[in-house]
Amino acid sequence: MIHVLHLLDRTTTAEGVEQFALLLKATHPSAGIRHRLAVLGPHDTVELVRRAGLAEIFDGMLTLHSAGWADPTGWRALRRAAQSLDMPPTLIQAWGIPAIVAATVAFGRKFPCVGVFTEPPDRRQIRLLRVLDRPAWRWIAMSAATAHALAAAVAPDRITLIPPAVSMADAKAPEEGVAALRLALGIAPDEGPVLLLAGDGPSARHDWGLWAGAILQQLYPRTRVLVRENPRFREGAGGTALSNRRAADPGVDRFRDALADPDLLVVAPGSARWSALVHAADVLLATPDHATGTGALLAAMAAGTLVVTTPVPAMTELIAHGETGLVARHPAPRFIAARLEEYMTDSTLRYPLVDRARARVYAQNAVSAMAEWFVQLWKDRGGTE
């Protein structure tokens, strides 16, 4: 029996939690594998776990809080909790830098470990990984760009590239219909086109997409830009009713009042899944940064929603211009708006692009394929250490 202890922390991205949820739902219960979950950090991480439905899978989920400046990663709490487990883990799988630090400090070389990265690490994280890297660690990159960035910090022969997954069941259009979905978000039936901006968190560059939408609005006055609020927003901290004043990211807050038409922007709740929002949009616009992630892109591709992105390696791995979507020549609002205008004025572009995009996702990004990769890794690690 292989016992996998999963560690999530405050830096685990919303996409990382969604990928984790897909993986666990595909492998739990599974013969010969048992999963345990420990959440390190503040309440907003627990909120992400709850929204992803993970708390329903695990009995006795461990919620471990760090001890402030004296123990910012929560390794002390992790070591104490591990002593109370009914059975020690066979291996540890960390989904964030603080979790990697906590596992290294709390357990040392006692157990084999796996670190998962859904987006490329930044320079500070690379420096830290150079210190933390040990033969006991194996590293998972969920894109080639992430694998390339990791290779600057850890041994390349211990990096495994596992493509991210998307639920094909979620790719189906909602039963209530697109019009009802838009209405629930505050978008009237006569409004459109609707641009959905991908990306979560404070590092997302939604301001680029907002300006591109404002440029497009000069041609299509009823254009609406849809943004999902920061998914770490907690209900009760700012109300539960849909509101365009909810926090999405600093870029949105900074440029909201500068927009000529404040109705251009529509903010969806953080609890909304990308698999639902992509059906409400005509186009998914991936902003030029690593905070975009790939989960939203995969959801759009599977649902048949056109993706427009910028020439960033993590994005162009999935989106080839003229094949599976559109890629702007430069990561600037006017070039993004030009690609959107090109699409709007040529009705023959849509169906070939979305059909090829959907076929690519179905062939390379199924949940079963991702689960098979991870299960094989767990068995190899559990049987060799």
pLDDT in tens, 192-236: 899 999 877 555 668 788 888 889 998 899 999 998 887 765 444
How much is the pLDDT for 247? Answer: 53
Instruction: Say how many Å lie between the first and final Cα of the chain, rounded.
Output: 14
pLDDT by residue (tens digit) across 318-330? Answer: 899 999 999 998 8
Structure confidence at residue 241 (pLDDT): 34
Per-residue pLDDT, 252: 64
Q: Give the 3-state secondary structure of residue 7.
A: strand
Q: Could you report the per-residue pLDDT of 81-139, keeping only the tens digit for each?
A: 776 666 678 889 999 888 898 888 888 778 899 999 988 888 999 999 999 888 889 99
Helix (H, G, I), strand (E, B) or coil at 293: coil
DSSP class of residue 278?
Answer: H
198: left (phi over 0), alpha (psi -120 to 50) or beta: beta
Average pLDDT of the chain is: 82
* Cα torsion 189, 191, 193, 194: sign: negative
pLDDT at res. 32: 80
| 369 backbone dihedrals φ, ψ, rounded to 5° | -70, -45
In which order are the strands placed within the sheet that holds 283-286? 265-268, 224-228, 194-198, 283-286, 306-309, 326-327
Q: Are the CB atoms for 88 and 82 separated by under 8 Å? A: yes
Bond before 29 cis per omega within 30 degrees = yes
Residue 280: predicted pLDDT: 92
- In this predicted structure, what is the pLDDT of residue 53? 75
Residue bearing tokens 């830290």: 128
Structure-model confidence comparison of residues 283 and 351, the more confident one:
283
Given a cut of 50, whether residue 142 has pLDDT beyond it is yes
DSSP letters spanning 176-238: T-HHHHHHHHT--TT---EEEEE--STT--HHHHHHHHHHHHTT-TT-EEEEEPPTTPPTTTS
pLDDT at 242: 35
Among candidates 330, 353, 327, which has minimal Cα distance to 340? 327
Residue with the bigger pLDDT between 18 and 231: it is 18
Strands 159-161 and 33-40, how do they pair? Answer: unpaired
pLDDT-based confidence at residue 64 (cuts at 50, 70, 90):
low
For residue 80, the number of C-alpha atoms closer than 13 Å in the C-beta half-sphere is 11
Q: What is the model's pLDDT at position 259? A: 72
| Nearest Cα to Cα of residue 38 among 69, 67, 63, 66 | 63
Whether 270 and 231 have beta carbons less than 8 Å apart is answered as yes
Task: Answer whether 192's CB lies under 8 Å from 222's CB.
Answer: yes
Q: How far is 83 from 124, CA to CA, in rounded Å? A: 32
In the numeric block, which tokens belong to residue 344?
């709007």
Contact (Cβ atoms closer than 8 angstroms) between residue 112 and residue 381: yes
**Helix or strand or coil: residue 169?**
coil
What is residue 384's predicted lDDT score, i.e. its pLDDT? 47
Entry pTM:
0.84
3-state SS, 75-133, equals: HHHHHHHHHCCCCCCCEEEECCHHHHHHHHHHHCCCCCEEEEECCCCCHHHHHHHHHHC
Judge whether residue 59 has pLDDT over 60: no
Helix, strand, coil percent values for the chain (each to nearest 5): 45, 15, 40
For residue 321, the SS3 value is strand
> Does residue 142 or residue 207 have the better pLDDT?
142
Looking at per-residue pLDDT, the higher value among 348 and 257 belongs to: 348
